[in-house]
Amino acid sequence: MPVLKIISRDLKVPISEVYGIVSFYHFFAMVPKGKHVIQVCMGTSCYVKGGQRLLDALKKELNLEPEEITPDGRFSLETVRCLGCCGLSPVMAIGDDVHRKVKPSKLKDILSSYE
Amino acid sequence: MKRLTSVKELQSLREQAQARLAELEKKIQVKVHLGTCGIASGANKVSEAFVREVEPRKLSDVVILEAACIGLCGREPVATVIDPKNGKTIYCDLDENRVPRIVEEHLVGGKPVKEWTLALDAPLLKLQEIRVMHNQDLDPMDIEQYIARDGYQALAKVLTKMKPDEVVDEVGKSGLRGRGGAGFPTARKWKFVCSAPSGEKYVVCNGDEGDPGAYMNRAVLEGNPHSVIEGMAIGAYAIGNVRQGYSYIRAEYPLAIETLSHAIAQAREYGLLGKNTLGTGFEFHIDIFPGAGAFVCGEETGLLHSIEGERGNPRQRPPFPANVGGGLFGKPTTINNVESWSNIPQIIFRGADWFASVGNEKNKGTKTLCLVGNVNNTGLVEVPLGMTLSKVIFDIGGGIPDGKKFKAVQLGGPSGGVIPIKHVNTPIDYEAIPSLGAIMGSGGVVVMDEDSCMVDIAKFFLQFTRDESCGKCTTCRAGIPKMLEILNKISQGEGTIEGLDVLAELAEMIAATSLCGLGQTSPNPVLTTLRYFRDEYEAHIKDKRCPARVCSALVTYHVLPDKCQGCGICLRECPVGAISGGKRLVHVIDQDKCIKCGTCLDVCPPRFSAVTKVSGKE
Ligand SMILES: Cc1cc2nc3c(=O)[nH]c(=O)nc-3n(C[C@H](O)[C@H](O)[C@H](O)COP(=O)(O)O)c2cc1C
Ligand code: SF4
Ligand code: SF4
Ligand code: SF4
Ligand code: FES
Ligand code: FES
């Protein structure tokens, strides 16, 4: 919230309006991001191919809900709508790496390669 | 490069560029396709591997090039080799380890490595009609390659040989309908803007592509950006009084934005955009506006608000964007989809009749489709409008993987609907698809097999529209969550048959009273699943059973004692320690602890197949 206040003050627009814009557009985030940002695709194709199960497993593995960050700051978790690799569903991005056709059972291995 | 100041200069540049392409064709060209999903699959590494392998061999007749995606998403990374002896060879499923052999046997030895290639006469390729995507083998960063392929010829033609209304008529004659979803005739839309009182006007390209599971517009922007630029310039000329155009592209498409920016800069440098285009006095500029990811911004009035710097809330129409007071900054504006724009240059250059030579009576030309979900050949395809769903899914798509049965296909994303197998011979066009309760949308085709639950899919789309509703209308803001609540109950086995009637009533109300297309069409996924799969809803309600075994509240996982070999893999992998057992002992799942993640089912070795998922009394 403090950041929103600064934006509101500097741009001279009411804070409610800043909040409106920030919450409306997905590209603005209101929580700090982890060292590695995990984006799980929840687009249609990934969903049909098991994206929800992937997300559930990830939540359990990291003990994290979407939009949260691990206490050590190593990972933060987000869901996104289509990473544009639907042909490779289910897809998950960690930082700039896109992991395709991810199975929940492969998560441990994948995560352990990120310090 | 010197600015082109006349059509004559464009023609001589075209000849030079063609000569350069012809020169290339004498060599062995390796084109690694570097679209977003190719890169995600490691195409850059493949490209580097080719360079690494070719350089020390000093193969002077081999050139390694970059090209855009050719839509074979499921087979990425993909590279095309074109050599004078073998013609075109497409390699799929590449990785860097395969590159040395291709270099050795094909580039040096002249013999393609057959087992890694995709046959050019495979139905996947043969049944397609490539028009919008016809430049995907070129380097999108090189405007001269586009010019060599007759690029900007259509612009030159309209600026020097056609009156604006002739351009509109030609587009009208082609029968082009808007590719953004509704299929509104493009020329008719342009005429509204033409006939609005004069004064400044705008053209806008809608590249928001918010349907989660569709990316054909992105592929066009990444692979054929100049076709969009040229189309917009032609539109600006045809409409008149347009000096400025905007391309609204979602920020999730960084590569598309980068490619289009580069293309715009190049077009300006070459004198094909900006002041005094080709020395004709025509002036037109394009700016890119990156949209920060809200589905409703794809709706035309929401999009305009967003460009004006406000929240992308839709507003009441009329006034339509084409009207005074309704467009961008209040000026008459035409908004067309990326694919609509990119069809324009070819309609002008090759003629309306050529465009209308494929398609059916009311639906001319081609449509790009994103074929995804439970289908063998996932990817981007382009087919004549009017091709049947079954041809796309079974012939081009190669059918359903793993021997599963086809269940339904979803068209039109969150505004669309599911179509069951009994209608699978329906033609894909702007009349037939809506008649089944779905919509064409932007071209997302999501194939679902027997393991997909229709209640769950309806829930998925409704969650999406709930999250994306801008909240302006009460019915959309409050009605969608109400529907969702009912669906949630059903998927938990707590629904009632009366609930289904309430669902239908809510759907009708939301469709009738919402302001914009998002709300109006949001009930479609529910209505179509109810219409075609009512028995599945009833199974959830009456038998507390999810026939597709998806709804987690209604499924349980079990180890089959006679099959379990006690290998212990599932015990190790279960994230919550719900499985107990010992070496060579039958393992048991503690149902109270199990979170139904399905990991045990995935990891139990296929030769044992000892884990099952059941729902209801099976
Ligand atoms: C909720 C909603 C989302 C939309 N999203 C898109 C989109 O992503 N891309 C698009 O071209 N049209 C989209 N449209 C349709 C546009 O409002 C508009 O009709 C279209 O851009 C017109 O272009 P066309 O005539 O070339 O089809 C959307 C409409 C609604 C109601
Ligand atoms: S229908 Fe929904 S998304 Fe559209 S304007 Fe109304 S509240 Fe907003
Ligand atoms: S479904 Fe998941 S939680 Fe349940 S027993 Fe299997 S692995 Fe464990
Ligand atoms: S993985 Fe399969 S075979 Fe092995 S212990 Fe588990 S259920 Fe038994
Ligand atoms: S739906 Fe996941 S990448 Fe498109
Ligand atoms: S192959 Fe290009 S988008 Fe998938």
Q: Evaluate if residue A66 carries a pLDDT over 50.
A: yes
* Residues of chain A contacting B73 with CB distance shorter than 8 Å: 85-88
Report pLDDT for A1.
Answer: 42
> In this predicted structure, what is the pLDDT of residue A84?
77
| Candidate from B76, B294, B460 with C-beta closest to A25 | B294
pLDDT of residue B507: 96
Q: What is the mean pLDDT of residues B574-586?
A: 91
Report pLDDT for B428: 98
Across A92-101, average pLDDT: 88
pLDDT tens digits for range A21-57: 555 555 555 567 889 999 999 999 999 999 998 998 8
Atom of ligand 2 nearest to the CA of B468: 3
The closest of B300, B231, B288 to B256, measured between CA atoms, is: B288
Residue matched to tokens 């089959």 = B560
Question: Does residue B28 contact residue B63 with C-beta atoms inside 8 Å?
Answer: yes
Question: In this structure, what token pair is assigned to residue B361?
Answer: 């009576």
**pLDDT, tens digit, 9 for 90 and up, residues B465-510:** 999 999 999 999 999 999 999 999 999 999 999 999 999 999 999 9
Q: Which residues contact B243 (CB under 8 A, 6 or more apart)?
A: B200, B236, B283, B284, B285
- Cross-chain Cβ contact B444/A84 below 8 Å: no
What global pTM score does this model have?
0.91
Q: What is the mean pLDDT of chain B?
A: 94
Region of A48 on the Ramachandran plot (φ > 0 left; ψ -120 to 50 alpha; else beta): alpha
Q: Is the pLDDT of residue B83 over 80?
A: yes
H/E segment holding residue B410: strand B406-411
- Is the pLDDT at B542 greater than 90, yes or no? yes
> Integer distance in angstroms from the first to the last C-alpha of chain B?
73
Minimum CA distance residue for ligand 1 atom 12: B180
What pLDDT does residue A33 have?
Answer: 84
C-alpha B138 to ligand 6 mean position (Å): 15
Structure tokens at A41: 């695709």
Distances (CA, A) of B67 to B47, B50, B219, B579: 11, 14, 12, 50
Which residue's alpha carbon is nearest to atom 1 within ligand 5? A43
Whole-number Å distance, alpha carbon B334 to ligand 2 midpoint, is 22
User: How many residues does the structure list for chain B?
Assistant: 618
Three-class SS of residue B128? coil
Check whether B615 has a pLDDT greater than 50: yes
Query: pLDDT digits over B410-423, tens only?
Result: 999 999 999 999 99
Closest CA to B255 of B288, B285, B215, B221: B221
Return the number of CB contacts < 8 Å for A and B: 126
Distance from CA of B17 to the nearest CA of A (A): 33
Please report the pLDDT score of residue B489 as a whole number.
Answer: 97
Higher pLDDT, B204 or B122: B204
> Which amino acid makes up residue A105?
S
Quote the CA–CA distance of B93 and B75 in Å, as a whole number: 5
Distance B29 CA to ligand 1 centre (A): 39
Return the closest-CA partner of residue A86 out of B379, B230, B486, B603. Answer: B379
CA angle A71, A76, A79 (to 5 degrees): 145
- Chain B residue with CA closest to A42: the answer is B212
- The model's pLDDT over B506-515, given as tens digits with 9 standing for 90+, comes to 999 999 999 9
Instruction: Label residue B492 exposed, middle or buried (CB < 10 Å: 0-12, 13-18, 19+).
Output: middle
Place A8 in a pLDDT band, splitting at 50, 70 and 90.
Answer: low
In this predicted structure, the answer to whether residue A93 has a pLDDT above a threshold of 70 is: yes
Q: Is B209 exposed, middle or buried (0-12, 13-18, 19+ CB in 10 A)?
A: buried
**CB B258, CB B481: distance < 8 Å:** no
- Res A7: pLDDT: 56
Distance CA B571, CA B293 (A): 41
Q: Are the CB atoms for B369 and B128 separated by under 8 Å?
A: no
Task: Report chain B residues whose CB lies below 8 A from the CB of A84.
Answer: 36-37, 215, 218, 252-253
**Checking phi first, is residue B582 left (phi over 0); if not, alpha (psi -120 to 50) or beta?**
beta
The number of helix segments (H) and strand segments (E) in chain B equals 26, 19
| Model confidence pLDDT, tens digit, residues B386-439 | 999 999 999 999 999 999 999 999 999 999 999 999 999 999 999 999 999 999
Is the pLDDT at A13 greater than 80? The verdict is: no
Mean pLDDT calculated for residue range B276-301:
92
Q: Collapsing DSSP states into helix, strand and coil, what is residue B95? A: coil
How many Å lie between the centroid of ligand 4 and the Cα of residue B560? Answer: 9
Q: What is the mean pLDDT of residues B306-317?
A: 91
Grouping H, G, I as helix, E, B as strand and the rest as coil, residue B218 is helix
Query: CB within 8 A of B62, min separation 6: which ones?
Result: B27, B28, B30, B54, B107
**Contact of B455 with B540, CB cutoff 8 Å:** yes
For ligand 4, the distance from its centroid to the CA atom of residue A112, given in whole angstroms, is 24
Contact, B537 vs B503, CB < 8 A? no
Higher pLDDT, residue A84 or B180:
B180
Question: Which mutation among B554, B556, B573, B579 tests ligand 3's pocket best, with the greatest number of atoms within 8 A of CB?
Answer: B579
Task: Name the residue with tokens 């996982």.
Answer: B557
Altogether, the residues listed in chain A come to a count of 115
At residue B346, the pLDDT reads 98
Distances in whole angstroms, Cα of residue B340 to Cα of each of A56, B141, B334: 39, 22, 12
**Average pLDDT estimate for B543-559:** 95
Q: What percent of chain B has pLDDT over 70?
A: 99
Residues of B in contact with A60 (CB under 8 A): 575-576, 595, 597
DSSP E strands, B443-532: 444-449
Structure tokens at B78: 């993909």
Write the DSSP assignment of A54-105 as a string of letters: HHHHHHHHHT--TT-B-TTSSEEEEEES--S-GGG-S-EEETTEEE-S--GG
Mutation pick for ligand 1 pocket among B188, B202, B206, B442 (CB with most ligand atoms within 8 Å):
B206
Give the residue, B456 or A20, on which the prediction is more confident.
Answer: B456
The answer to whether the Cβ–Cβ distance between B372 and A81 falls below 8 Å is no
- For range B200-226, the mean pLDDT: 93
| pLDDT tier for residue B598 given thresholds of 50, 70 and 90 | confident
Q: Tell me, what's the ipTM?
A: 0.84
d(CA A25, CA A15): 16
